[in-house]
A and B are shown apart, each in its own frame.
Chain A
Amino acid sequence: MKDYKLEIWATLICFILVAFIGGFFSSFVVILNEVFFYQVPTPEGLVDFYGETMFVIKEHLTVMGFPLHYFLLVMFSWIGVTIIGAIWCFIMDGIEERQRA
């Protein structure tokens, strides 16, 4: 039962992490961030907040020249999920070995 619980929890946590950084990340950082934290919920509000460009980033938040949210989206959805996948594989390899034993 211990390995069963480990399988369930490892799968649940890894899936939530992968879903968030791969699926919802840009939504959260780019839109919800603006709507909920900066209270600029309309296009007109965004224009007031960011100027006429409606360009939803802040200049100082850049990594290697990229806007932070873009960099994180690209990196997390690629390197991030690869690492999470590898960790999950190691856990499942361990469970499989014990199942065979």
Chain B
Amino acid sequence: MEPRGEVFVLGLVLSIVVLVISVLISVWARRLTRNLGDYYVAGRSIGAINNGLAMVSLALSLTTFIGLTALIIEGVYIAVAVYASFTAAFIGLMILAAPYLRRHKSFTTMAFISERYDSKTLRYISVVVMMVVSVLYLAGNLKGIGIVFYFLLGVPEVVGIVVGGLVVTLYVTLGGMYGVTYNQTFQTIVLLFCLMLPVAMILRALGTAGWFFPPLGYGDLVPEMIEFVPHYFWAMLEHPITYIAIFLGSFFGIIGLPHFVMRFFTVRDAKEARWSTVLCVFLVGLVNTTVYATGFAAVYFMQTTAGVELTPAAYDYMVFILVEALAGEGWLALAVAGSVAAGLSTVSGLLMIMGAGLIHDLYGELKPEVDDEKKLKLSYLAMFLVGVFVILFSLNPPEFILKAIMWAFGIAAAGLGVPIVLGIWWKRTNKYGVGVGMVVGSLIGFAGWIMIDYMGMNPVDIPFPFFNTYLYGPMGWIKVTVLAVCFSFILTVVVSWLTPPPPENLQRQVDVMHGWPDYDEKRYNGKGLPIAVIVISVFLLWFMTTLYDVFPK
């Protein structure tokens, strides 16, 4: 795919406007930052609407805008299933974790794990897991910004990665969590308008009846889509465990991804945490379904328009190609600005959590005598250095953005999601169980990523005893998530059961997280949950080994 061939002035101007406003918001927000609590969790003063909007921009990264559209064009029905699960996962996050984490009053996921289990070692381990998943998540998004710049200006992607990375590093460093929050809210509003309106124009140009509501406005294109790509709505003939892996990765991964969880530490109270998630899931679903429409419209356009021949590599630009061809340059400029906003918001949230993890959870623990004022100054420095490091890492990003992010979800689910969920819902969970479970679970996920994605090994050839035989199929690699999450659950529960229970002051935290003014030993301490967790995990591991002869290899 070639760039447009000339500088797209209007798109460039709107993108620069988005970038400048982002920096200005951070400069303004800096006045609100007076201490460490303001810098990391915005003084826990954010309301439900503001937080909900900020979470939307975290969820809707450039992967959604660019990567999902490309996957749909390729006819990968499972991509829709992935995003359906990802949308629903926000409610899973709310039901299992969000309000309870808010009541715990930690600054970060890592601090929660450390304080809930009274273990500095677990804090260090969780910082390492957090860094791995954040870098995986970030690299794909910065690559997306590079793609936008390449299309706009014809400059190499690396320029976009460096410029976009520096701008976001600047405003995160300057504004802290206040700046990040208000920027994300601004970027969500930009993104909603800049995606929905151009897609509506595309659908109108294609002659669909319900063009004004993109999530469903393309229904009357379905017969043509089926004619062009018969397998469009046909789920890939995969073992159902593939879908269960997607469920485990998205539902527990989102709980384990610290930049999502950190948003709940910033709100005023548990009620605001709950309702902000409901708002978020509604808007995320709205945008995701609009992106499905974009993918379908792209196929229809390619099949019905003479002279349109694109290589799969060009599918990443399809949003822009469609908007330019069917809606015009004004709308294209909006779509470009929306893409820049989408990329910046996700990157800013990740940078924030990485900086907080390094200073608050690592340096702060190693040097507890350092006062908050010095930590605040070091936070500015750490945030800047992390930004530069990520830019350098992103110069050689993963080939497939969405795949890297799905690995990040899997590792986060096993390494951080499981200890958080069990820490909230089962008092008996102790540091020994969590230590074994999170180390083994995250190592399974990380080893899978290294061997399959990084080294390019065939999933069935990697040395996972017994289970590797069952990692077959086009999406076989994703089954590693089932291994990681199930082993994490099983080991956490079994080892916790075989070792001494945590002291009462730690068990008391569970009652406090659930809002009870008093302590009752019987609450959240039954045998039902751990037994159910073990039974379901063992069942899933067994289920993975069944129906071997039924599905294609």
- Give A6 to B481 CA distance when docked, in angstroms: 32
Chain B residues near A79 (CB, 8 Å)?
285
Q: What chain B residues lie within 8 Å of A65 (beta carbons)? A: 219-223
- Chain B contacts for A26, CB-based, 8 A: 77, 80-81, 84, 235, 243
List, in ascending order, chain B residues with CB within 8 A of A53's CB. 230-231
Whether A31 and B240, one on each chain, are in contact in the complex, defined by CB atoms closer than 8 angstroms, is yes
If A26-B81, A65-B223, A66-B222 touch, does A18 touch B92 (CB 8 Å cutoff)? Answer: yes
Q: Say yes or no: is A93 at the interface (Cβ < 8 Å to chain B).
A: yes
Determine whether the beta carbon of B515 is less than 8 Å from that of A55.
no
The segment out of B59-67, B121-129, B190-198, B273-281 that lies at the interface is B273-281
Once the chains bind, are B277 and A69 in contact (CB under 8 Å)? no
Is residue B265 contacting chain A, with contact meaning CB distance below 8 A? no
CB contact between B247 and one of A23, A62, A74, A85 (< 8 Å): that residue: A23
CB closest residue in chain A, given B284: A78
Query: 8 Å CB contacts to A: which residues of B76-92?
Result: 77, 80-81, 84-85, 87-92
Closest to A63 in B: B219
On whether the beta carbons of A82 and B92 are closer than 8 Å, the reply is no
Contact pick for A19, options B216, B223, B247, CB 8 Å: B247
CB-defined contacts of A25 to chain B, threshold 8 Å: 84
Q: Are B91 and A95 in contact (CB under 8 A)?
A: no
User: Do the beta carbons of A64 and B216 come within 8 Å of each other?
Assistant: yes
Which chain B residue shows the least CB distance to A45?
B550
CB of B244 within 8 A of chain A?
Answer: yes
Beta-carbon contact of A82 and B230 below 8 Å: no
Whether A35 pairs with B95 at a CB distance below 8 angstroms is no
**CB of A41, distance to nearest CB on chain B (Å):** 5
Q: Give 1 or 0 for each of B288-322: 1 = CB within 8 Å of chain A CB.
A: 11001000000000000000000000000000000
Query: Is A7 located at the chain interface by the 8 A CB criterion?
Result: yes
Q: Mark B214-233, 1 if CB is under 8 A from A, else 0.
A: 01100111110010001111
Bound: A77/B242 CA distance, A: 18
Which of A41, A54, A66, A69 sits near B219, CB closer than 8 Å?
A: A66
The reply to whether B516 and A69 contact each other, CB–CB distance below 8 Å, is no
Is the CB–CB distance between B91 and A78 below 8 Å? no
Q: Mark B505-530, 1 if CB is under 8 A from A, else 0.
A: 00000000011110010010000000
From A35, A56, A78, A89, B87 is in contact (CB under 8 Å) with A78
Beta-carbon contacts under 8 Å, B180-221 to A: 215-216, 219-221
Instruction: Give A2 Cβ to nearest chain B Cβ, in Å.
Output: 12
Residues of A within 8 A of B552 (CB): 43
Determine if B73 is an interface residue (Cβ-Cβ < 8 Å).
Answer: no
Complex alpha-carbon distance, A31 and B552, angstroms:
13
Which residues on A sit within 8 Å (CB–CB) of B96?
11, 15
Taking a contact as CB atoms closer than 8 A, the residue among A7, A23, A64 that contacts B244 in the complex is: A23
B contacts with A: majority SS: helix
| A22→B235 contact, CB < 8 A | no
Instruction: Please give the number of chain A residues whose Cβ is less than 8 angstroms from any Cβ of chain B in the complex.
Output: 52
Q: Which residues of B contact A32 (CB under 8 A)?
A: 240
A27–B84 Cα gap in the complex (Å)?
12
Question: Shortest beta-carbon distance, B287 to chain A, in Å?
Answer: 10
CB-based contact B223/A23 at 8 Å = no
Contact of A82 among B219, B234, B278 (CB under 8 A): B278
B70: interface (CB < 8 Å):
no
Question: Contact between A73 and B95 (Cβ–Cβ < 8 Å)?
Answer: no
Do A77 and B87 touch across chains, with their CB atoms under 8 A apart?
A: yes
B363 is an interface residue with CB less than 8 A from chain A: no
- B92→A73 contact, CB < 8 A: no
In the assembled complex, B404 has its CB within 8 A of some CB on chain A:
no
- B221 CB, nearest partner CB in chain A, Å: 8
**B278 touches which one: A57, A89, A96 (CB < 8 A)?**
A89
The answer for the CA separation of A21 and B251 in the assembled complex, in Å, is 13
Q: Across the interface, do A73 and B277 meet the contact criterion of CB distance under 8 Å?
A: no
List the B side residues contacting A62 at CB < 8 Å. Answer: 222
Task: Decide yes or no: A54 and B91 within 8 Å by CB, A24-B243, A27-B240 being known contacts.
Answer: no
Cα(A85)–Cα(B233), bound, Å? 28
Task: From known contacts A18-B91, A99-B515, infer whether A85 and B523 are also in contact, taking CB-CB under 8 Å.
Answer: no
Given contacts A27-B243, A95-B515, contact A22 B231 (CB under 8 A): no
Tell me which residues across on chain B come within 8 A of A14, comparing CB atoms: 91, 95
Most buried by B among A27, A41, A54, A85: A85
Interface string of A61-99 (1 = CB under 8 A from B): 010111101100110011101101110110011011001
Judge whether A70 and B243 touch: CB under 8 Å.
Answer: no
A69→B514 CA distance, assembly (Å): 37
A–B complex contacts, Cβ < 8 Å, 25 sampled: A4-B520, A4-B523, A11-B95, A15-B92, A19-B88, A22-B87, A24-B240, A26-B84, A31-B237, A46-B237, A54-B231, A55-B226, A55-B231, A55-B232, A57-B233, A57-B234, A74-B84, A78-B286, A81-B88, A81-B90, A85-B94, A88-B94, A89-B271, A96-B270, A96-B271
Contacts beyond the supplied A24-B244, A26-B80: 11 A-B pairs with Cβ under 8 Å:
A4-B523, A22-B85, A26-B243, A27-B242, A43-B237, A54-B231, A57-B234, A66-B216, A78-B281, A81-B285, A92-B99
Listed in ascending order, the chain A residues whose CB lies under 8 Å from chain B are 4, 7, 11, 14-15, 18-19, 21-28, 30-32, 35, 41-43, 46, 53-57, 62, 64-67, 69-70, 73-74, 77-79, 81-82, 84-86, 88-89, 92-93, 95-96, 99
Chain B interface residues toward A at CB < 8 A: 77, 80-81, 84-85, 87-92, 94-96, 99, 215-216, 219-223, 226, 230-235, 237-238, 240, 242-244, 246-247, 250-251, 270-271, 274-275, 277-278, 281-282, 285-286, 288-289, 292, 514-517, 520, 523, 547, 550, 552
